[in-house]
Chains A and B, each alone.
Chain A
């Protein structure tokens, strides 16, 4: 029990390792918080899916510094994000913007899902129609007479099979 509690305490005490160096942090806590919310939204363009807030890459450090410089100069969140998009394109935003160029990204999964649903529906309808045909084709008068004749022949000659077996 004691051990478990100790492990839990350790787990709770563990803070995530920060990529941000102490000397980067702004002295104004309000501006620092703003800088952190911005850097968490910006992609480190030389990393794989990491924000510049998380990355140790040189470029990420340089970009963090530029973000803090802009924040100190009085820029808001939108302005700093726009500043980075102007230089690195939409890719620099971890959350892709919703605009005609990114429609495929936003709608693509739903289109695939709808297509899959349509194919599944079609598939089951085809299967059901094969298993239980809805309309039985009617015999023509000539077919009916011939079928009756054949059935009468089988019923009328019960020994037909026995006779065939003999050479």
Chain B
């Protein structure tokens, strides 16, 4: 019993060390907020097209049902959005429906940005005051939502879509949703 007593502080230390090390081992990032909207229908919203670009069509809740889609929240002033743009374009090339929510952007700036980098979006809604972004629980740009054919949010990617996330998360999810 006495010998066991001496082991108690060491065991406690080990237990606490394990507790604190777990998030690192699992690569959990405390800055990423899990979405409260997973498996829920996308929020009710209707966004106009980008000012001066009626061909971007605007985006509303009704557009999200019927077939699986990807909703990408982006902005021309956001550098990680530019970094993930090739991945978003590839999704469109692979035949998936990609929609954009343009977050707090002056119309001229986003127009020039799309001209320069290409426009993979089937529709873009301009969210100039970020109120629809808040409805989607967006904490920053970019964020990407994967939507099933019933218009429910099934998965969310916070931050730029890297080639790894593209291959290991987005493609398998979209193939599953397309089935």
Contact = CB atoms under 8 A, between A and B. Distances in A.
A49 to B, nearest CB: 12
Interface centre among A62, A119, A123 (most CB of B within 10 A): A62
A130 interface: yes
Interface in B7-37: 8, 33-37
Contacts of B93: none
Interface stretch (B57-65, B131-139, B163-171): B131-139
B104 interface: yes
A123 B33 contact: no
B129 A62 contact: yes
A45 B33 contact: yes
B133 A89 contact: no
Interface residues of B, number: 21
Interface stretch (A23-31, A80-88, A158-166): A80-88
A69 B131 CA distance: 10
A85 B33 CA distance: 12
- 6 interchain residue pairs of minimum CB distance: A89-B36, A87-B137, A62-B130, A45-B139, A88-B137, A66-B134
Given A58-B104, A66-B131, 7 more contacts: A62-B130, A63-B134, A85-B36, A87-B135, A88-B33, A89-B33, A126-B1
Interface of A: 45-46, 58-59, 62-63, 65-66, 69, 85-89, 91, 119, 122-123, 126, 130
16 contacts: A45-B33, A58-B104, A62-B129, A62-B130, A62-B133, A65-B129, A65-B131, A66-B134, A87-B43, A87-B134, A89-B33, A89-B35, A119-B8, A122-B5, A123-B5, A126-B1
